[in-house]
């Protein structure tokens, strides 16, 4: 817990103004997308067409800042930024105008009367024109004026003035129109907000030296660029711009924790010494007997922890001896593969039961946590399309998870070739069944599990197939239980390239709809047998979701379908492929609220299957 906040890249103050991350006043601090300009102690926001505005306040917590809009040229009723057509924010930058602003537009042409904003005689601007002496002096000669409340959408980038429309404006933040106009000056300003920044861009690891605890990796959304993504155990905090330690989010926590650790450490040391002496004494007298008893007690403790939250006892404690025997001492012949969590071995217990054993990687500090997490979660879930966790083993050097063995490999290998010679290619009907079973398993996790469970790591290699080629969703290593009253869970980008919900980059949350997005990518894999990310495709097609979305929009789905299932297809089969393609498209909607939920997806696939069966 010694490194909590490091590598902060905030810029120095500008005069009295503190510049919070991600705002940047120079190339070596902040995020370069969030440029502001410091000129002799005054901070400026530069807009398009050469106009520039003084920044009067910044609130990093709400990601908002206030700029002072131009006054108007006396007598002419013309805004000083008339030449730049008013305020025009660069739409390619992450700033927009908030919905807190009320804008009065003056010196307007009668054309404005037909525009859908309030230019009536009761408009707020009429009171302003009448009761503000300056406005009255300059602008009352042309009585048409209008007012509008800005929208606050991400497309809100300009307040426009021009000939034939309106040529002057004033803006107020959270204006209380019940107050007399003489008090309105207190609300003067235009409020902008910025989007939360993503992890900093990088080209090599050296660029990440300012962002401690991060690694320069390919950006799954834009694979042509790389970012300093937080390492395991750390989360990206877009407000402070650092990867913080999840175990001690603030330095205070660190201090508390290290103080706690110190006290705990002393207590533990004392206990260890005492226990050590006692143990030496006992070992001297009854060595073997005590060892066995100790193991029994440990085993009992683990069992108690494991079953604490279980309504029924489903998880078992396996002994190291048992597992070592079952795997022939973890021989390489029994190695099934390795993933993010560690290695997976096949094993056979004394009673003949075949099992899969997940062994945490050496130095995988999350191992124990992940195991307890996984065991607790899985002891609650029971669904035919989810891989069953049988128990765990904690008395070897590395913690182990014991699963039922699923004999026919994973969907990724079936679709992408590794097993093409070993097993026949999957038929279209079987692919639909696999999609349906997977969707049902996930819908169970989202809806029937209490509290709801988001998988967060859906990909074809985590869908295993049994001897009947039925699908079982595996790898709950990245699972976290959602808070019972929370609809989302903050997390680090633990998803995998090509499957990660793009909205994660907007708000750094993964929800049930993030699983829906990842599942949409799996649907595309089933249709095309193409990989989620493939650098052998053209540059702009590396990401399968982007590639197929384009093809679907051009109504060329057939060009992308796996030739194996395309060959000899009936018209009905073709229709069902199309239907699944469009379902995938809805799962892959950029905005998660537009995506269907997993239950709906499962029902849709069930319906597609029923059509195929009926035909």
The DSSP bridge pattern shows strands 316-317 and 389-393 to be: parallel
Of 31-39, 297-305, 371-379, 474-482, which part binds ligand ATP (CB under 6 A)? Answer: 474-482
Nearer residue to ligand ATP within complex by CB, 356 or 433: 356
CA angle 525, 526, 527 (to 5 degrees): 90
CA dihedral 468, 471, 477, 483 (to 10 degrees): -140
Question: Collapsing DSSP states into helix, strand and coil, what is residue 346?
Answer: strand
Min separation Cβ 342 and ligand ATP, Å: 7
Min separation Cβ 22 and ligand ATP, Å = 30
Query: Is 12 a binder of ligand ATP (CB under 6 A)?
Result: no
**475 sits near ligand ATP (criterion: CB under 6 A):** yes
152 is a contact residue toward ligand ATP (CB under 6 A): no
d(CA 215, CA 232): 10
- In the complex, the smallest distance separating the C-beta of residue 206 from ligand ATP, rounded to whole angstroms, is 27
- Give 339 or 606: the residue with its C-beta nearer to ligand ATP: 339
Q: How far is the CB of 222 from ligand ATP (least distance, A)?
A: 22
- Please give the backbone phi and psi of residue 529, each rounded to the nearest 5 degrees, phi first: 55, 25
* SS3 assignment for 39-89: ECCEEEEECHHHCEEEEEEEECCCCEEEEECCCEECCCCEECCHHHCEEEC
Q: How far is the CB of 576 from ligand ATP (least distance, A)?
A: 28
Closest distance to ligand ATP from the beta carbon of 361 (Å)? 10
Question: Using an 8 Å Cβ cutoff, are 67 and 47 in contact?
Answer: no
Task: State the minimum distance, in angstroms, from the CB of residue 364 to ligand ATP.
Answer: 11
Which lies closer to ligand ATP via its Cβ, residue 119 or residue 478? 478
For ligand ATP, the closer of residues 480 and 566 by Cβ is 480
Quote the CA–CA distance of 207 and 222 in Å, as a whole number.
18
Can you tell me which of 356, 500, 522, 551 binds ligand ATP, judged by CB under 6 A? Answer: 356
**Span between the terminal Cα atoms of the chain, in Å:** 62
- The DSSP bridge partners found for residue 461 are none
**Identified binder of ligand ATP from the candidate list 194, 405, 504, 508, rule CB under 6 A:** 405
CB of 343 to ligand ATP, least distance (A): 7
Among the listed residues 23, 435, 464, 524, the single contact to ligand ATP using CB under 6 A: 464
Selected from 403, 428, 504, 508, the binder of ligand ATP by CB under 6 A is 403
Q: 29, 317, 379, 406: which one contacts ligand ATP (CB under 6 A)? A: 406
Compute the least distance from the CB of residue 392 to ligand ATP, in Å: 14
Contact code string over 314-353 relative to ligand ATP, x by CB under 6 A: ----------------------xxxxxx--x---------
Q: How many CB atoms lie within 10 A of CB 571?
A: 8
Return d(Cα 214, Cα 227) in angstroms, integer. 9
Nearest-angstrom CA–CA distance, 52 and 37: 9
**372 CB neighbour count, 10 Å cutoff:** 16
Cβ distance to ligand ATP smaller for residue 123 or 457: 457
Name the percent of the chain in helix, strand, coil, to the closest 5: 35, 20, 40
Q: Which of residues 54 and 396 has its CB atom nearest to ligand ATP in the complex?
A: 396
544 near ligand ATP, rule: CB under 6 A: no
For residues 146 and 139, the answer to whether their CB atoms sit within 8 Å is no
d(CA 503, CA 244) in angstroms, rounded, equals 21
Closest approach, Cβ 326 to ligand ATP, in A, equals 14
Q: Residue 477 interacts with ligand ATP (CB under 6 A)?
A: yes
Point out the residue whose Cβ comes nearest to ligand ATP. Answer: 339
Closer of 318 and 341 to ligand ATP (Cβ) = 341
- Residue 194 CA to residue 303 CA, distance in Å, equals 50
The pair of structure tokens assigned to 537 is 């495709």
Give the pairing of strands 52-59 and 42-46.
Answer: antiparallel
Site stretch for ligand ATP (CB under 6 A), options 22-30, 46-54, 326-334, 454-462: 454-462
Residue 387 interacting with ligand ATP (CB under 6 A): yes
Query: By CB under 6 A, what part of segment 190-249 binds ligand ATP?
Result: none
Residue 525 as a binder of ligand ATP (CB under 6 A): the answer is no
Among 132, 307, 410, 511, binds ligand ATP (CB under 6 A): 410
Nearer to ligand ATP, 15 or 337 (CB): 337
Query: Which is nearer to ligand ATP, 139 or 497 (by Cβ)?
Result: 497
**Size (the chain), residues:** 615
The arrangement of strands across the sheet holding 166-173 comes to 146-149, 101-108, 166-173
Contact at 8 Å (CB) between 506 and 195?
yes
Does position 457 interact with ligand ATP (CB under 6 A)? The reply is yes
Shortest CB 368 distance to ligand ATP, Å: 17
- Using CB under 6 A, pick the residue from 24, 462, 514, 576 that binds ligand ATP: 462
Kindly tell me which of 441 and 477 has the beta carbon lying closer to ligand ATP.
Answer: 477
Contact, 189 vs 173, CB < 8 A? Answer: yes
Residues whose CB is less than 8 angstroms from the CB of residue 460 and which lie 6 or more positions away in sequence, other chains included:
410, 411, 412, 415, 416, 522, 525, 532
Minimum Å gap between C-beta 537 and ligand ATP is 21
What tokens does 352 get?
A: 């003949």
Q: Could you tell me the smallest distance in angstroms from the CB atom of residue 546 to ligand ATP?
A: 22
Q: Which of 474, 491, 514, 576 binds ligand ATP (CB under 6 A)?
A: 474
Strands (E), 144-291: 146-149, 158-160, 166-173, 190-194, 201-202, 214-218, 226-230, 234-237, 242-245
Residue 442 as a binder of ligand ATP (CB under 6 A): the answer is: no
Residues that bind ligand ATP (CB under 6 A): 336-341, 344, 356, 387, 403, 405-406, 409-410, 457, 461-462, 464, 474-475, 477
């Amino acid at each position: 817990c010694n490194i909590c906040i490091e590598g902060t890249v905030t810029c120095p103050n500008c005069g009295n103004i503190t510049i919070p991350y991600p705002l940047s006043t120079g190339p070596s601090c902040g995020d370069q997308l969030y440029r502001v300009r410091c000129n002799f102690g005054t901070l400026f926001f530069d807009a398009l067409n050469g106009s520039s505005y003084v920044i009067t306040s910044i609130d990093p917590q709400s990601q908002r800042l206030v700029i002072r809009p131009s006054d108007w040229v006396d007598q002419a009723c013309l805004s000083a930024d008339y030449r730049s057509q008013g305020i025009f924010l660069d739409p390619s930058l992450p700033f927009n105008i908030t919905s807190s602003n009320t804008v009065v537009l003056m010196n307007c042409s009668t054309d404005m009367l037909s525009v859908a904003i309030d230019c009536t005689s009761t408009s707020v601007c009429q009171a302003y024109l009448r009761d503000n002496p300056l406005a009255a002096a300059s602008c009352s000669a042309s009585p048409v004026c209008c007012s509008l409340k800005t929208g606050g959408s991400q497309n809100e980038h300009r307040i426009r003035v021009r000939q034939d429309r309106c040529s002057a404006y004033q803006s107020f933040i959270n204006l209380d129109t019940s107050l007399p106009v003489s008090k309105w000056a207190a609300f003067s300003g235009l409020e902008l907000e910025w989007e939360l920044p993503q992890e900093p861009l990088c080209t090599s690891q050296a660029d990440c030296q300012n962002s401690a605890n991060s690694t320069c990796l390919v950006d799954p959304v834009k694979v042509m660029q790389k970012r300093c993504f937080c390492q395991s155990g750390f989360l990206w905090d877009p407000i402070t711009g650092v990867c913080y330690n999840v175990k001690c989010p603030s330095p205070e926590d660190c201090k508390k924790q290290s103080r706690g650790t110190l006290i705990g450490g002393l207590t533990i040391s004392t206990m260890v010494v005492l226990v050590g002496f006692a143990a030496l004494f006992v070992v001297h007298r009854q060595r073997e007997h005590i060892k066995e008893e100790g193991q029994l007690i440990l085993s009992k403790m683990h069992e108690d922890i494991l079953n604490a939250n279980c309504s029924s006892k489903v998880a078992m404690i396996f002994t190291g001896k048992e597992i070592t025997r079952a795997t022939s001492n973890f021989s390489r012949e029994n190695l099934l593969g390795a993933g993010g969590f560690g290695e997976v071995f096949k094993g056979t217990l004394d009673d003949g039961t075949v099992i899969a054993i997940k062994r945490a990687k050496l130095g995988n500090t999350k191992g124990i946590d992940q195991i307890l997490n996984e065991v607790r979660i899985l002891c609650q879930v029971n669904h035919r399309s989810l891989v069953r966790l049988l128990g765990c083993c904690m008395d070897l050097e590395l913690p182990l998870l014991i699963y039922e063995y699923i004999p026919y490999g994973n969907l990724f290998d079936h679709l992408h070739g590794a097993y093409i010679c070993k097993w026949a290619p999957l038929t279209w009907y079987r692919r639909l069944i696999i999609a349906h079973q997977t969707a049902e398993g996930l819908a169970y996790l989202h809806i029937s599990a209490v509290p709801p469970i988001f998988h967060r790591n859906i990909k074809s290699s985590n869908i295993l197939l049994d001897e009947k080629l039925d699908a079982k969703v595996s790898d709950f290593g990245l699972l976290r239980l959602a808070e019972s009253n929370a609809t989302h869970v903050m997390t680090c980008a633990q998803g995998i390239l090509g499957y990660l919900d793009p909205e994660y980059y907007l708000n750094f949350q993964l929800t049930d709809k993030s699983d829906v997005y990842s599942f949409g990518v799996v649907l595309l894999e089933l249709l095309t047998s193409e990989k989620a990310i493939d650098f052998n495709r053209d540059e702009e097609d590396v990401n399968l979701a982007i590639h197929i979305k384009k093809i679907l929009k051009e109504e060329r789905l057939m060009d992308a379908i796996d030739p194996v299932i395309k060959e000899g297809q009936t018209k009905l089969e073709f229709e069902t492929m199309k239907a699944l393609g469009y379902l995938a498209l809805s799962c892959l909607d950029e905005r998660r609220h537009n995506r269907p939920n997993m239950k709906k997806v499962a029902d849709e696939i069930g319906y597609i299957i029923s059509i195929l069966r009926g035909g």
